[in-house]
Amino acid sequence: MPEMPALTIGTKTARLPIVQGGMAVRISLAPLASAVAEAGGVGLIAGSGLSPDEMRDEMRAARATTTGVVGVNIMVAVRRFKELVHAALEGGTDLIVAGAGFSRDVFEWAGDAGVPVVPIVGSARVAKLAERFGAAAVVVEGVEAGGHLGTDRPMLDLLPEIVEAVDVPVIGAGGVVTGADIRRTLAAGAAGVQMGSRFAATVESSAPDAFKQMYVDATDDDIVLVKSPVGLPGRAIRNPFSRRMAEGEFPAIGQCISCLKKCGKDYCIVERLERAQRGDVEDGLVFAGSSAARIHDVPTVAELMGRLVSEWDESGEGE
């Protein structure tokens, strides 16, 4: 029975084809990213919501605790995108994942440092564009994903089109929780998977206990779409704050820090994400993928990675 394959992005190879999603604000930091890298996957630090100095420090902290593959995920939509990219490069990042928009400049910045760029795409057209600019791989994020959504189509529907459209590795994201999900995604043509929600509910995640418990307790009915001032819909876990937003009640913005290049000004999303990260899961925004309803515990990263490999093996029995 074939073992779970490795994943190569540019010159970097991870022993397992598992990329831990970059979850902001301050959910996936150095402790989570380095633990995933050390266990054989690709760990990502979420740059959105960090200052450039914090980004650099987090990357250096991760680099100091693992020899595995550690990268960053930075939203193109953030105003300090360029500064965050350069801070990540200075910190020693192995790769840059960029979503919530498309940047041509990042290929030049990263290319000068010999660091691969991996855009998050929602269509074959954007995947082809990314490859033309020099993407080392692309992440195909389906509607099942958490946070900001760039498509209304399921990942497994999009995946074959994008695999056919490009020659670089394609990583499937959205709704992946188990080793069987990984096998199904790779069988559809992906070179790897990106998993966010499952890693948010691990011991090493920087989410507070109350945040992780919301994942453990969530049912399918608790997973909702919310309005985001970024201009894209977001997926989150229902709570009093999301209920008020659904009724058109948006909290007033106190002091705007102009963190986004374009903002609908409905409310301050960074402030609400930070509230959730500090443990206020009543009035904070708790982003999660549709798969959160399938998460029932909070293991260590090492335990989770071992489980994923075992589930992969079990799902392939008889092949």
Determine the average pLDDT of the residues in 102-128. Answer: 92
In a domain, 1, yes or no: no
In a domain, 300, yes or no: yes
In a domain, 134, yes or no: yes
Q: Are residues 214 and 170 in the same domain?
A: no
pLDDT of residue 145: 83
In a domain, 262, yes or no: yes
Q: Whole-structure pTM over 0.85, yes or no?
A: yes
In a domain, 2, yes or no: no
Q: Are residues 300 and 274 in the same domain?
A: no
In a domain, 316, yes or no: no
Q: Are residues 108 and 226 in the same domain?
A: no
Q: Express each pLDDT in 232-289 by its tens digit.
A: 778 899 999 889 888 888 877 777 666 666 666 777 777 788 888 899 999 988 888 8
Q: Are residues 94 and 192 in the same domain?
A: yes
Alpha-carbon span 43 to 19, nearest angstrom = 6
Phi/psi zone of residue 49: left (φ > 0), alpha (ψ -120 to 50 degrees), beta?
Answer: left
In a domain, 71, yes or no: yes
pLDDT of residue 319: 59
Q: What is the CATH number of the domain that holds 100?
A: 3.20.20.70
Residue 316 CA to its chain's centroid (Å): 27
Q: Are residues 138 and 74 in the same domain?
A: yes
Number of domains in the chain: 2
Q: Express each pLDDT in 283-299 by its tens digit.
A: 988 888 888 999 999 99
pLDDT of residue 259: 63
Alpha-carbon span 4 to 17, nearest angstrom = 7
Q: Are residues 153 and 252 in the same domain?
A: no
Q: Are residues 179 and 245 in the same domain?
A: no
Which domain range does residue 181 map to? 7-206+294-310
Q: Are 18 and 2 in contact (CB under 8 A)?
A: no
In a domain, 317, yes or no: no
CA triplet 56, 230, 169: central angle to 5 degrees?
60
Q: Are residues 16 and 145 in the same domain?
A: yes
pLDDT of residue 318: 58
Q: Are residues 19 and 73 in the same domain?
A: yes
Determine the average pLDDT of the residues in 77-87. Answer: 89
Q: Express each pLDDT in 123-180 by its tens digit.
A: 999 999 999 999 999 999 888 887 767 777 889 999 999 999 999 999 999 999 999 9
Residue 115 CA to its chain's centroid (Å): 19
Alpha-carbon span 63 to 79, nearest angstrom = 26
Q: Are residues 181 and 284 in the same domain?
A: no
Q: Are residues 281 and 301 in the same domain?
A: no
- 200: nearest Cα among 21, 39, 61: 21
Q: Are residues 179 and 273 in the same domain?
A: no
